Structure 1
């Protein structure tokens, strides 16, 4: 299959789609819980699904609907996951307060990092040597895989009027590219750093200040997901305001607002060439958007409840 598109959510089913036609081609049962996150290996051979509290791995080209591996070790909702470049290792975050690294030759984790607070999002640095996490306590932590230590703990200065008991706003989503590290809190503030600067230990107690900061959605809206495009030129954010928004990463100006969904937009993923976007929503649908025109070109509609996560791999390699 040249294009792998999968969606999941609160109806305990993972659906694969023929992206151009909108036809559901296969359904996998995830009986344990709702599905919180999905990720496809770079070689398109496997799909990982995170629920509560397991991670299950499915073989995409196998007719069997049974998972081939169950990863056990988290004790709460798995909130985010991804694969190392060669697909041999998987990393994950959870509401149990940990970030874990898994060698897929074993059902148990090889390393666990204690964030001391529920972790909402995790991303792997392009150098493949650091993991970035964002947590409910308002911290962005950088974990060094070589030393197994937290090498930095960044707490951005939020201007939100409603904060946690620690005076911080929960970090909802993190992502990183070669030259940009972003963290977005659930009150829709986005913070931007240079990844190399963020990797440095704070000097003399002075915080590492972001090079940019902006509000992605209006006051009162919750930001749910933020993702940098593969070409590094755009950032997408999704929100409870029923929209996905696109920002130019050179100046962080709003370029597009995608507003066809009728309920919360939970997740979004870019195509490999950054020309298309797929969004997932509580309105029980996923939508494919042409970002050149800003128009929806396909709708995926067979889910019975909210669609909260989407995975796409249409790369040619």
Structure 2
């Protein structure tokens, strides 16, 4: 039997590295027992940090070649084919703590959608009671906008940097999209325009980053682009089918367009019940790339930091796609944990690794894509969860606690959680 001369029996030489200078320890290799798991490795790092007060010990997560250690070192190294390596480099990050529920807001009907990506720490919600609400981080309803004649299916901010000059969009089962102005300080909402061109329920809307245009997708299989500048006067003027100067139609999906996202000025993505994710060239208005999934799409989210698309599917899966791949095998990872249709997906702002998903199984899951297992499952909802997002915690002075998690669904409750300390 050949023995590795650099390895003692039952031990392996490791080097600990981190990108966080506040928790950095010596990078000199030394031997640790192969039986150690995440908790044992955390104790080693805390010892190396010379933290003698056990109450101040931090929990860490550990990665080898970008993959979390979720078993013992021995099992992980054997599975990765690294058992004979003389020195193993282990990266460590501060572990995410479990999210805790803080507040909830009672709506009058199912909560279909939430856009919490406001710099002011405000969440915009859409509800089956025909209305939209602006809710703050303490779960207090600040404003309500009612004008649709059927359930609101999607909402999106267009301007959200000043409390007295907010603008947002609502899309509805009544086949229309409405533009609203709101002033939280004066407690007023004002309808600005109604966009009529879809011939079936409008399921998804997304504004471009500067709020000058938006995209809408619906059950009429149409993806439409709209101009928010030079709107006709007076306010609440209708964009009719015959006079559609403010709209362009992108037709290529063969079934309902269930999700659109416009993450950068030059990138528009759409997803459909036809199982396709389509990327659009906004200069030529052409479908520049198509990625086919095994199951119908319900939501898409794009991470600028990772360059990856995350998708939510009817077959209970969350999928990750790399549009930069040229051999056509775009689907690089599938995350399986939900027990029912995945309804929404959201990358954490400024993160290349963390995302949220919600499902008809009543849960919201927090993922780190470096692990196949969800970090946490939030199962406080008593019915289908239809939407989730990251809500900026404007009261926090700790950059690690900058984001909260917000979710809503068929139990009519908007729930807000602290997201715990992050990477």
TM over 0.5: yes
Alpha-carbon displacement from aligned partner over 1:144-199 (angstroms, at most 9, x marks no partner):
1113343411111x4xxxxxxxxx4111111123332111111211111122322x
Q: What corresponds to 2:127 in structure 1?
A: 51
Q: What corresponds to 2:24 in structure 1?
A: none
The aligned runs of 1:108-147 (5 Å cut-off) are 108-117=190-199, 118-147=201-230
Q: What corresponds to 1:38 in structure 2?
A: 114
Return the offset for 1:44: 4.1
Q: What corresponds to 1:245 in structure 2?
A: 319
Asked if structure 1 preserves the Cα contact closer than 8 Å seen for 2:297 and 2:314, the reply is yes
Return the offset for 1:300: 0.5
2:381 to 303, 306, 311: 303
Partner SS for 1:284:
coil
1:194 to 273, 281, 286: 281
Alpha-carbon displacement from aligned partner over 1:25-46 (angstroms, at most 9, x marks no partner):
112111x210000122522432
Q: Which runs of 5 or more residues in structure 1 are unaligned?
A: 1-18, 159-167, 199-207
Higher mean alpha-carbon deviation, 253-262 vs 222-231, is at 222-231
User: How many residues align structurally?
Assistant: 272
Higher mean alpha-carbon deviation, 142-151 vs 301-310, is at 142-151
Q: What corresponds to 2:390 in structure 1?
A: 312
The aligned runs of 1:271-282 (5 Å cut-off) are 271-272=348-349, 273-282=351-360
State whether structure 2 residue 261 is matched by structure 1 residue 175.
yes
Q: What corresponds to 2:160 in structure 1?
A: 86
Asked if structure 1 preserves the Cα contact closer than 8 Å seen for 2:198 and 2:222, the reply is no
Provide the rounded CA distance (Å) in 1 between the counterparts of 2:191 and 2:352.
33
- Structure number with the higher helix fraction is 2
Partner SS for 1:292:
coil
Asked if structure 2 preserves the Cα contact closer than 8 Å seen for 1:142 and 1:151, the reply is yes
CA RMSD of aligned residues (A): 2.0
Q: Which runs of 5 or more residues in structure 2 are unaligned?
A: 1-95, 232-244, 394-398, 403-423
Higher Cα radius of gyration: 2
The aligned runs of 1:85-104 (5 Å cut-off) are 85-87=159-161, 88-104=166-182
Q: What corresponds to 2:370 in structure 1?
A: 292
Q: What corresponds to 1:261 in structure 2?
A: 338
Provide the rounded CA distance (Å) in 2 between the counterparts of 1:110 and 1:314.
27
Return the offset for 1:214: 2.1
Asked if structure 1 preserves the Cα contact closer than 8 Å seen for 2:179 and 2:191, the reply is yes
1:29 to 106, 110, 127: 106
Q: What corresponds to 2:189 in structure 1?
A: 107
Provide the rounded CA distance (Å) in 2 between the counterparts of 1:41 and 1:211.
28
Seen in structure 2, the aligned counterparts of structure 1 residues 124 and 107 have a Cα distance that, compared at 3 Å, is same
Partner SS for 1:197:
coil
